[in-house]
Structure formats: C-alpha cells, structure tokens
Chains A and B, each alone.
Chain A
Amino acid sequence: AQSVAQPEDQVNVAEGNPLTVKCTYSVSGNPYLFWYVQYPNRGLQFLLKYITGDNLVKGSYGFEAEFNKSQTSFHLKKPSALVSDSALYFCAVRDPGGKLQFGAGTQVVVTP
C-alpha cells in the first residue's frame, strides 16, 4: 500500500529563516509525490509534484522539494520563510488507482 508520513505536527520558524517540512513515503513501484498547502477554511492549493526526472522539484511561491530515493523522503523546503507561509501543509502520494493518500499534515508557523 502507498502511504506518506509527516513526522512533525508543527514546525516553527522565524521569518527569513529556511523552512523545511518533512515527508517520508512508502510505495511499491515508482512514487508519484505531491505537496499541497491549506489556508484556514480553504481548500488545498497545489505546490509541486514529483513524477520522474530531476530530484529537485521547483514549485509555486518559492517552494521546492527534494526527492531522495535512498532515504525515501520528499521534504519541502523554502530558503527564506514569510509570515504568509503560515499554513497547513500536506504531503501526498498517488496510489495505482489514481487516488491521493495524504499525510496527517504539518502546521507551519512563521513568526515575524
């Protein structure tokens, strides 16, 4: 079965500092991985995806993610966090049937 794990319920970072949100995956076959962000009372916004190709994937709003096969990880990163990046972040993997399996989510809090 395909699954992802987000080990941190919350990540706190000061504005201007690097932001990392962790995600590890467990799949059989090639992983199709996604990151989404959710603001309060809103749906999810697509940030980026990894299907194949370069291990470093660049996405929206200055975010990027690094696919690491040996560590089965797909951590989301941003070099310099903004207060407006405070939100709930979800890692997801697509299963063979085309459905997304979401992680539990990580709340990011960026303080001024």
Chain B
Amino acid sequence: GAVVSQHPSWVICKSGTSVKIECRSLDFQATTMFWYRQFPKQSLMLMATSNEGSKATYEQGVEKDKFLINHASLTLSTLTVTSAHPEDSSFYICSARSQGNNQPQHFGDGTRLSIL
C-alpha cells in the first residue's frame, strides 16, 4: 500500500530554535501534500495544502512566515517551524495524495514537537 514517511517522529528543542519536519511519499507521486496539527484528544486541524512546485496555501489563522512549507518534488515536502516557542508544541502530521481529488490521503506517523 501507499506509504508516507515522516521524520523525525519526536523532537525536543529549546525555544527560539527552528525545526524542520520532512514528509516523503515512498511509493507514489504526491502531487498534493497536507500538513495538520493535532492537539491532545482533538481532531486534526489543517494548516496548509501544497502542490508540487507551487506555493503552499495556508488556512486562515496559520502564519505562513512561522510555518514554512516547501514541496519541491513529487516525493518530498518539508515543514519548518521557525523560531519555535512552547505554544508551538504539538503533534504535526503530514499526508500525501496522488493526482485526483478522489484519491485517498495517506498519512505519515506524525512528529511530536516539544519546545522547552
């Protein structure tokens, strides 16, 4: 089946550090990738959508200068949390979909980010 690899799975860093999270589709071409944030015992909140080679589209209320998204190839998207602060601590999940709105989204295993 379709596999999405997300790395790292867990990161702890000091306040003010920038953190990069990678999301790779291993066996299909991900024309569209999504980044979500999930708070404990809550549903997923979509942060942004990116299409390969294009700028990401951010949801309302998500700071694009804070959460930098790059989708430079059909198999890789990155999310960089710039100058992270404790309130950025969360579980971040990426997902990828091949071309076509009817295709299912496949999710990475998430990244637990803890900012001290």
Contacts and interface: CB of A to CB of B under 8 A. Distances in A.
The answer to whether A and B interact is: yes
Interface SS, B side:
strand
Nearest to A94: B101
Interface in B34-51: 34, 42-44, 46, 49
Contacts of B97: 98
Contact of B102 (A46, A51, A103, A104): A51
A46 B112 CA distance: 21
The CB with the most chain B CB atoms within 10 A, among A34, A41, A42, A44, is that of A44
B46 A99 contact: yes
Contact of B32 (A34, A44, A98): A98
A74 interface: no
B43 A105 contact: yes
A43 B4 contact: yes
Contacts of B49: 98-99
A99 B102 CA distance: 11
B43 A98 contact: no
A63 interface: no
Contact of B107 (A32, A44, A49, A105): A44
The CB with the most chain A CB atoms within 10 A, among B34, B93, B107, is that of B107
Given A42-B110, A43-B6, A43-B109, A90 B104 contact: no
25 contacts: A34-B105, A41-B112, A43-B95, A43-B107, A43-B108, A43-B109, A44-B93, A44-B95, A44-B107, A45-B107, A49-B104, A90-B44, A94-B101, A94-B102, A98-B32, A98-B49, A98-B97, A99-B46, A99-B49, A100-B34, A100-B46, A102-B44, A103-B43, A104-B42, A105-B42
9 closest residue pairs by CB, A with B: A43-B107, A44-B107, A98-B101, A43-B109, A102-B43, A46-B104, A43-B110, A43-B108, A43-B93
Interface of B: 4, 6, 32, 34, 42-44, 46, 49, 91, 93-95, 97, 101-102, 104-110, 112
